[in-house]
Structure 1
Amino acid sequence: MAASTAVDTREPLAALRSAVLAIFVFSGFFVIVEPSPYELTFTLALLVFMATGMSLHAAITPMVLTLIVFNVGGLIALIPMLEDRDAVTFIAVSAYLALQTIFFASIVTTSPLRTLETIRTAYVGAALVASLAAIAGFLDIAGLGEMFSRYGRASGTFKDPNVLGTFLIPPAIFLFQDIVTGRRPWLRGAAFSLIVFAVFLSFSRGAWGNLAFAGLVMTFMIWNGEREASTRLRIVAAGVIAVLGLVALIAIALSVSELRGILLERASLNQSYDLGETGRFGNQLRSLPELMTLPLGYGPLQFRHHWPEDPHNVYINAFASYGWLGGIAYLGLIAATFGVAWKLRRVSPVLRRHYYAFWPPLLAVIIQGAQIDTDHWRHFFLLLGVVWGIHAADCRMKNAAQPVRRAASSGQVPNIRHAR
């Protein structure tokens, strides 16, 4: 009777937590205004989860420590320019995003399966709304072109087409995984096609590469981890359909004069702002010797005052905006994350599906950081926190299983609480 009562009191609480989390993640699709609903709903989610129970597992300690040191480096670099409102805001946002990362890791650790399903569902919903807005804006449906497009490219509910494109990659990967594993493939296929079309209309080279890379990595992981012939057959079929769809999409775009010019321009690797001594990559290389002599870097958002534009490289920006301390901490965070991903090769079967879904898009963003500043991308910190949370949940489950193995050898099997 007591056990039944305990379940009855926990379930409404779990439903409340899931609802608040879903609202928070779903609100990520709208960032035209700042502070965005995502920031406001995070405050609500944090308060609800703190009131109903949150805990930090020892397994996420490296992530927490490197994030703290990273932001301390930013605070120290900020000291000479406290009167610069933009610089102060920049560091405040960095700290806020670090807190969000710890939040995601904590809640995934505590209740992994329910939390991960909630995040996936809400993120896909957010992506569908953003995609519809992007398509409507690009096609100027109902006069929405001015609001939901920029520079002749789809931006949807984002200020920048590039950020829209990369925001849509994780949910596209979630859906593609469900397609190849047989989870309502036709319904998921329709949603996947809509999102991929919006990614295409963003004309973001980074997003295109991000999608292709993450999709290939996840496909390899599933192929390597799943031995069932039916799953591998679906992978081949989905791959063929995806390639044919891409070819058809490119052919249609090339046949429309308005699209042809944008496509050829964006597909070119020889962009004027990238090349030459004063181009993006030239500025990055020329800044390195100078940054090696500046322990505090240039200061938050000050790179643009020393060179023609922002660094467009998150690793250089880590040293430029957060100083040596912050830069080294950021590299440590990325290195530790790779270490966690390596350990998760042997993740518990119950968590494997989610690891296959969240790690490839995170890896893609980490690599993409070499050509764009990703240190304030909200979905990067969501992915980062979730992967570390999966690692911590995996550690919890394996630690809980150890007494079972020991007891089984002696003929006694204790009761343990399974992840929910």
Structure 2
Amino acid sequence: MRGPPPFPSRLTLPPRHGLEILLLLWLGLTVFSSALVLVDVIYNVMAVGAVGLFTLLGLRLDRANVPLILFLALFNIAGLIALQPYLDFDDSRDFMLGTCFVAVTAVFFALVLNENAIRRLEAIKWGFIAGALVAASVGLASYVGVPGLEGRFIMFESRVSGTFRDPNVFGSFLVLPALFVANDILRGRGSLPVRVGIFSVIALGIFLSFSRGSWIALVVGLSMLVMLNAFTTRDGATRARLALFVMFGFVFLVLGLTMILSVDPIYEVFRDRFTLTKDYDSGPDGRFGSQLRSIPKLLEMPFGYGPNRFWIFYTENPHNTFLMAFSSYGWMGGIIFFAFIVTTLTIAIRTALMRTPFQPYAIVLVAGFVPHLIQMFQIDMDRWRHLFMMYGMMWGLAAISTRWLAEYRAYAHACYRAQINLSASAQPAE
């Protein structure tokens, strides 16, 4: 799975200000703090500090970043228009403030890759992994009854939520870090026992969140990760290693599940959760019933119900991100959001197929984004912080991958011309 040979590109070289180590540390800690949802202010402060620090030291804007900025700006403008009748409602104002904030972070995570991309991607990756490891470890310690933590990070009596307020968000957050670690294992990077240990802790956290969406997300994500790696490699030996890892992984999964489900309390919760629909999903007043009842009324309301006001009419939020976009941001916002998601998926897949030094990260992000896309039909994730980080990274990777290939072709052509000129000058004159 070796990529093209390196060449002097500004995209992979550190800036000249000499403070890149500080920036990398701050970037990694910012991503890490996104796992500490129980104390929101930590991530907010770190993210604002990161935007300010990187901007002060030279945050580069590439014209390829402009479409992302336009999409998010128009989406927020639609929300602000829908907000106007409800400016006196704190919930609606705070909702739009949060949307604007995560949109800024998405743009930041795109722009931050315009320099020293490999090291910054590594900082982001390990920030995610460290955050997931801490969140999962705290949740597992609480689950098994470690003194001082017993039951403190458990919700609904038996579902691990870690450092999150919702086990569903907790489980979904862990999926991307799990895929980062799994990709390292598949590519033979780092210590195998260490990577397997980290993956096991994170995967166990996902399982004990008892989030059906997160279970599906991990399975779909791992499947896509293997398929994309197999499709993009040109090495038969590497494909054989992938097949071997898949077989061992399947055996490991079966044995692990057998051991875990042998514990009666875990088995009882698993049996209860292992269904496609629950009582609160079905019926005219259930989750899906409320979604269907809301659509005819939304077709008569160009500005929707207003930001975060769906629950006022139907007792709870729609549990469908696309429906949430139309209900909170109006027709304009819903259409823009749908177009944004389709465009993001398209450029992310295209980037994952480009043979660049950034391809491994692009593959992981596609494998992580597709399961989130599936979950959008059964949960509201229009303002999830880690998802907006992923948006920014996917758009940022698309921009730098295109630039890198253009620079590489120009560099290769220049080397070829120089070699021809050198050969011509070395020939003896007649």
User: Structure 2 length as normaliser, TM-score?
Assistant: 0.90
Aligned mates of 2:64, 2:244 — CA distance in 1: 39
| Alignment of 1:203 onto 2:210 | yes
Residues in 1 aligned to 2:339 and 2:14: alpha-carbon distance in whole angstroms = 44
Q: Are residue 28 (structure 1) and residue 34 (structure 2) matched?
A: yes
Q: Which amino acid aligns with 2:345?
A: F
Say yes or no: does 1:154 pair with 2:157: no
Q: Quote how far apart the aligned CAs of 1:339 are.
A: 2.5
Q: Is the 8 A contact 2:356 2:404 kept in 1?
A: no
Is 1:60 the counterpart of 2:65? The answer is: yes
- Letter paired with 1:287: S
What's the offset of the Cα at 1:147? Answer: 1.8
Q: Alpha carbon RMSD of aligned pairs, Å?
A: 1.9
Structure 2 match to 1:178? 184
After superposing the two structures, state which structure 1 stretch, 137-146 or 371-380, moved more.
137-146
Partner of 1:39: 44
Question: What is the rounded CA distance, in whole Å, between the counterparts of 2:107 and 2:412 in structure 1?
Answer: 32
CA distance in 2, matches of 1:295, 1:225: 44
| Deviation per residue, 1:390-416 (Å, 9 max, x gap) | 111112212323543554564489xxx
Q: How does 1:4-403 map to 2 (within 5 A)?
A: 10=16, 12-35=18-41, 37-151=42-156, 152-183=158-189, 184-403=191-410
Q: Distance in 2 between matches of 1:44 and 1:59?
A: 25
- 1:170 is displaced (CA, Å) by 0.6
Q: Is the 8 A contact 2:307 2:328 kept in 1?
A: yes
Return 185-194 or 90-99, whichever deviates more: 185-194
Identity of counterpart residues, as a percentage? 34
Query: Which residue is 1:3 aligned to?
Result: none
Provide Cα deviations, 1:358-383, integer angstroms capped at 9, x if missing partner. Answer: 22101211221111011121111111
Seen in structure 2, the aligned counterparts of structure 1 residues 353 and 150 have a Cα distance that, compared at 3 Å, is same
Query: Retained in 2: the 8 A contact 1:131–1:195?
Result: yes
Which of 376, 400, 411 is the equivalent residue of 1:404?
A: 411
Q: 2 CA distance for matches of 1:9 and 1:207?
A: 39
Deviation >6 Å, runs of 4+: none
Which secondary structure state, in structure 2, belongs to the residue aligned with residue 310 of structure 1? coil
Distance 1:369 1:267, change over 3 A: same
With over 3 angstroms needed to count, the CA separation of the structure-2 counterparts of 1:322 and 1:412, relative to structure 1, is: farther
- Higher mean displacement: 204-213 or 400-409: 400-409
For 1:254, the aligned partner's letter is L
C-alpha distance 352-200 of structure 1, shift in aligned 2 (>3 A)? same
Letter in 2 for 1:212: V
What is the one-letter code of the residue matched to 2:52? Answer: L
Write the letter of the residue equivalent to 1:55: R
Could you tell me whether the CA contact under 8 Å between 1:62 and 1:333 is conserved in 2? no
Q: Specify the code of the residue in structure 2 equivalent to 1:187.
A: V
* Inter-partner Cα distance in structure 1 for 2:414 and 2:255: 59
User: What is the letter of the counterpart of residue 344 of structure 2?
Assistant: T
Q: Is the 8 A contact 2:348 2:366 kept in 1?
A: yes
Is the Cα–Cα contact under 8 Å of residues 75 and 333 in structure 2 kept in the other structure?
yes
CA distance in 1, matches of 2:399, 2:62: 6
Report how far residue 58 of structure 1 moved. Answer: 1.6
Aligned residue number for residue 5 of structure 2: none
How many residues are treated as equivalent by the alignment? 406
User: Which letter maps to 1:56?
Assistant: L
Q: CA deviation at 1:389?
A: 0.7
Q: What's the offset of the Cα at 1:160?
A: 0.8
Question: Whose helix proportion is higher, 1 or 2?
Answer: 1
1:235 shift after superposition: 2.0
Cα contact 1:253–1:263 (8 A) shared by 2: no
Instruction: Summarize deviations over 1:240-296 as a string: whole Å, max 9, x none.
Output: 233223323332343322112210111111301111222111211221111111011
Contact 1:77 1:322 in 2 (8 A): yes
The letter for the 1-side match of 2:285 is T
TM-score (norm 1): 0.92
